[in-house]
Structure formats: C-alpha cells, structure tokens
Amino acid sequence: MTTTTHTAPTDAPPDDRPRLRAAGVTMRFGGLTAVHNVDLEVYAGEIVGLIGPNGAGKTTFFNCLTGLYVPTEGTVSYRGTVLPHRSHLVTQAGIARTFQNIRLFANMTVLENVLVGRHTRTSEGLFSALLRGPRFRRAERESEERALELLRFTGLEGKRDQLARNLPYGEQRKLEIARALASEPGLLLLDEPTAGMTAGETTATRELVLAVREQGTAVLVIEHDMRFIFNLCDRVAVLVQGEKLVEGSPETVQNDDRVIAAYLGTPFEGEPGEAEIAEVRAAEAADREGGEG
C-alpha cells in the first residue's frame, strides 16, 4: 500500500471508550430469532473478526449495527452515544460499512462513488450549488482532493473516470472500501470483503485493512475465509445460530472444540462404531459373492 497523508480526525484525543458497544442485541423476524442477545465491543485500533456458519446471523447483526434493521432488543452505541436506528445517521456518527453483495452506484464513475461517500462530511445545500460561490467551489475541490487521496490509497487512482460497473470484481470491492472510508469513519464494518477473491487479491485486501487500521479506524469484519480472519484479527467472535459462542484471540477460537463442532458437526449418539462398520462391510462383501455365484 502506498503511504498517504490521510489521517482520521477521530483519533486525536486518546479515547478508551469503545468505538462500538453492542449490548444485548436481539433481532426477531416474527417467530424466528436471527440474533439473540449478542454483546460485542470494538476498541480503537482493533481489528475484530466475526465468523460463523452460513445463516448464523452475522449480516443481520451488521444490519442492526448500521441502522438498516431496528433491533428488537438491545442498544448499539458508538463512543458512548446510543445510535439512532436510521442508517444515514449511523454513518453521520462515524460507522461506515460495505455490503456482502457489492452495492456500488453502478452507473456513477469511480470518483463520483467516493464523492457520495463524502456526503456526511460536507454540507453544501441546494442554494450554494445553484449560486456556486467561492465556498462551494472550495468544498467541492477539497472533497475531490480527499476522494483522489482515497483512490490512491486503495490503488484505484488510474480508474477515476470509469463507471463503477466496469471495474473488475476485486477493484469493485476496493472501491466499496474507499467509498466507506470517504465518510471518515471511526469504525469500518466489512461484510465478507474477500468473498470471491483470488489468493492474491485476498492478500491485497488484508494489507488494505491493516493500512486502514494504521490510520486509526477500527475495523469489524465478517468473513468466511478462516485463514484470512486468523491472520488479520486481534480478536475473533464466533456467532452460531444467532448467539455468540466464543470470543477471544484467534488462537483461542481456533482451538475451541465448540467452534470446530459448529463448523464440522459433532458425533451424534447413535453413530456407528468401528465394529458396526466392519459388520456392514462383511455383509456387503458376502452379498456380492453370492450374486456372482
């Protein structure tokens, strides 16, 4: 990653309040409890991973954090302030996210995508846009400079005027991160940032996330790729069937029996033992001989 002068404005005073505190978040859809009583904290400078089998409720939990869903119970707070359940206000507060299925503004250029990300950090209204005073022009110029800086940071500076839809898949993922970073978040939520990527692209994404952390933005990442998560994260939480099963360092989580069980399954009680298997094999062999004879 290239070096950059990008500084997150949020890391100025040392702040020991957690960037994110989810307390007792529960999400029910009718009779289905997708997320049940999940607590999670993310501190400044941390990269936290959230893993779990398909359907464990990771993305639902993300949507609760970012105001897309209103959790049935529990609160989400950012730096000690409880967040409202409106997605644009959450972004305004300082939490930005990417989506599991890339949701770029497909027919806008790369630069415009990032400029939309600047929306909450600029305030030019309709009248200043119509009058085009010096303040408007300065704000536009600054936004553009900032956006170009982010494109350089993510390695997309050569593609600024291409339509987002025409970028290759890996670069679309990068652009989504650049767009999220444009809102100058204190916490970045990444929903499966390496899904569908080659090994090389995954490594590049890992470096990008580390560089984001360097700038003082905490990161919470959902991922399926275990190697990616365990190499990257300071702390990993495992979500199974809507509940937080384990939380701890990558080593702890990796060696936890319950996690292995959740991913690979546990032996059930009536499972056939060695003896039964041998018996069945013998019977089958006898059967075959009989058929030939």
Partner 1 sequence: MTMTTTDPDTPGTAHAPRATAQGAPLPLRSDPPSNLLLARILIGLGAVVAFVSTLFPWTWTSAFPGDLTIAMYPGGLQILTIVGAALTAAFLLAGAGVRGLRWLTPGGRHSAVLLAALGTLAVTWYTAGAIAEDLGGLANFEPGMWIGIAGSLLAVVGALALPADVPAEPDPLTGRAPHIGHRLRAALAAPAPRQPGSALPGWAEILVICAACGIGLYVFAYGIEAEDGPPFIGFLVVAAFLTPAVGRAGLGRRLSVLAGRHRTVTLLAAFAAALLFPITQSNETYTNIAVSVLIFATVALGLNMVVGLAGILDLGYVAFLGVGAYTAAIVSGAPTSPFDVHLPFWAAVLLGAAVALVFGLVIGFPSLRLHGDYLAIVTLGFGEIFRISVQNLDGDSGPNITNGAKTIPNIPDLELFGFNLGEEHSILGFDLGRFANYYLLMLLFTAIVVAIFRRSNNSRIGRAWIAIREDETAARAMGVNAFRFKLMAFALGATLAGMAGTVLAHVEYSVNPEAYKFVHTAPPNSAFLLIAVILGGMGTVSGPLIGAALLYLIPAKLQFMADYQLLLFGVALVLLMRFRPEGLIADRRKKLEFHETGQLDVPPNGAAGLSKTEA
For the CB of residue 292, give the shortest distance to partner 1 in the complex, in Å. Answer: 39
Q: Tell me phi and psi for residue 79, to 5 degrees.
A: 50, 45
For the CB of residue 136, give the shortest distance to partner 1 in the complex, in Å. Answer: 8
- Tokens linked to 14: 């040392």
Establish if 126 lies at the interface with partner 1 (CB under 8 A). yes
Of 109-117, 205-213, 265-273, 278-286, the segment contacting partner 1 by CB under 8 A is 109-117
Using an 8 Å Cβ cutoff, are 114 and 189 in contact? no
DSSP string covering 105-172: -TTSBHHHHHHHHGGGG----HHHHHHT-HHHHHHHHHHHHHHHHHHHHHT-GGGTTSBGGGS-HHHH
Count each helix (H run) and each strand (E run) in the chain, helices first: 11, 10
Using an 8 Å Cβ cutoff, are 96 and 73 in contact? no
Binding-site string for partner 1 from residue 199 to residue 218, where x marks contact by CB under 8 A and - marks none: ---x----------------
Establish if 112 lies at the interface with partner 1 (CB under 8 A). yes
Helices within 155-225 (DSSP H only): 169-181, 199-214
Give the strand pairing for 81-82 and 187-191. Answer: unpaired
Establish if 23 lies at the interface with partner 1 (CB under 8 A). no
**Of 49, 57, 117, 242, which one interacts with partner 1 (CB under 8 A)?**
117
For the CB of residue 116, give the shortest distance to partner 1 in the complex, in Å. Answer: 5
Q: What is the signed CA dihedral for 154, 156, 162, 167, rounded to 10 degrees?
A: -70
- Is 131 or 275 the residue whose CB approaches partner 1 more closely? 131
**Of 225, 239, 259, 262, which one interacts with partner 1 (CB under 8 A)?**
225
Please, which of residues 249-268 interact with partner 1 by CB under 8 A? Answer: 263
Site residues for partner 1 per CB under 8 A: 66, 68, 87-88, 91-92, 96-97, 99, 101-109, 112, 115-120, 122, 124-126, 129-130, 132, 136, 139-140, 143, 160-166, 169, 172, 179-180, 183, 194-198, 202, 224-227, 263
